[in-house]
Amino acid sequence: MIERLCIIGVGLIGGSIARAARAQGLCREIIGADREPDNLRKARELGAIDVAYADIREAARMADFVVIATPVGACAAIFNDLRSVWRPKAIYTDAGSTKFSVIKAARRAFGGEVPANFVPGHPVAGAEQSGIGAAVCDLYVGKRVVLTPLSNTSPAALAAVSAFWSAMGAKVSEMDVLHHDRVLAATSHLPHVLAYVLVHMLGKRDEKEEIFQYAAGGFRDFTRIASSDPKMWLDICMANRAEITPLIQQLKNELDTVLDMLDDNRSQELFDFFSCAKQARQRFLDLIENK
């Protein structure tokens, strides 16, 4: 049982961790830290947290389990704050969508080596709504959580973080840091960039031609992730651009392939291309249904 759970960043992700931890009886007290007083106020009103601090050091000073659940761009400043109150016996983890950038920020703050009791982690879950108001206690049920421990990570800390997520219903696995950032760039970051780009492009045109009134359910689902929090996705794109930019280039090449097929009237090849995509998606569907 965790005595004092400290959540830094009480938005959708952090708020859902607080609610799930409470629902599963994983801790006695939940301390929230956020630089937005409004978020803290709402989190207390909703009963997601017990105590609220604007100052991260105040919040983390007495905690024995600390989760950083902010946009990844904030991690550098947070590690700097935490350094002065870091407790060797506490457990620290994060919920950032990119892992190399978070580890780099920790290295810098701690003078070269990431503390052994910090376990980098990423719950592969979310919603296009953001903020504490969207937080729910079952956000992580059945979802993957990827932990990317380093060579010096304490096995006990790793086990504690793994058990924490498992208790909230998540399926925990471990992965190499760079492999994580490469895989998620493909399955998550690239689709988000694409959705933003498409909606940005069509939105400009809609202002003049009102084309959105003729968009249907396919468009709604395809663009759902373009309603995601822009700050969070800015941070992810900047933090993981080394992996994302080659994928955007590759996608542009694939679009050229399709353009060539259209130009040259190569119907059979385009049919095979679409069929191959449909089969690949069926493989994905079979996978998530058998999870």
By CB under 8 A, what part of segment 112-171 binds a copy of itself? 124-128, 143-144, 146
- Closest approach, Cβ 30 to a copy of itself, in A, equals 25
Nearer to a copy of itself, 89 or 291 (CB): 291
Q: Which of 1, 84, 111, 283 binds a copy of itself (CB under 8 A)?
A: 283
- Closest approach, Cβ 129 to a copy of itself, in A, equals 11
Interaction mask 31-60, a copy of itself, x per CB under 8 A = ------------------------------
How many CA atoms lie within 13 Å of 149's alpha carbon, on the beta-carbon side?
Answer: 17
Strands 118-119, 65-68: pairing kind: unpaired
112 conformational bin, left if phi > 0, alpha if psi -120 to 50, beta if neither? left
205 binds a copy of itself, rule: CB under 8 A: yes
Q: Which of 118, 113, 108, 109 is nearest to 88 (CA)?
A: 118
Residues 251-280 contacting a copy of itself, CB under 8 A = 251-252, 254-256, 258-259, 262-263, 265, 267, 270-271, 273-280
- Closest approach, Cβ 51 to a copy of itself, in A, equals 32
Residue 237 DSSP one-character state: H
238 binds a copy of itself, rule: CB under 8 A: yes
Judge contact between 134 and 229, C-beta under 8 A.
Answer: no
Number of residues in contact with a copy of itself under rule CB under 8 A = 89
70 is written with which tokens?
A: 């902010």
CA–CA distance, 90 with 104 (Å, rounded to integer): 21
- Closest approach, Cβ 290 to a copy of itself, in A, equals 10
- Closest approach, Cβ 166 to a copy of itself, in A, equals 17
**Triad 93, 8, 32: Cα angle to 5°:** 125
Cα distances (Å, whole numbers) of residue 2 to 8, 140, 161, 247: 16, 19, 11, 41
- Closest approach, Cβ 214 to a copy of itself, in A, equals 5
225 binds a copy of itself, rule: CB under 8 A: yes
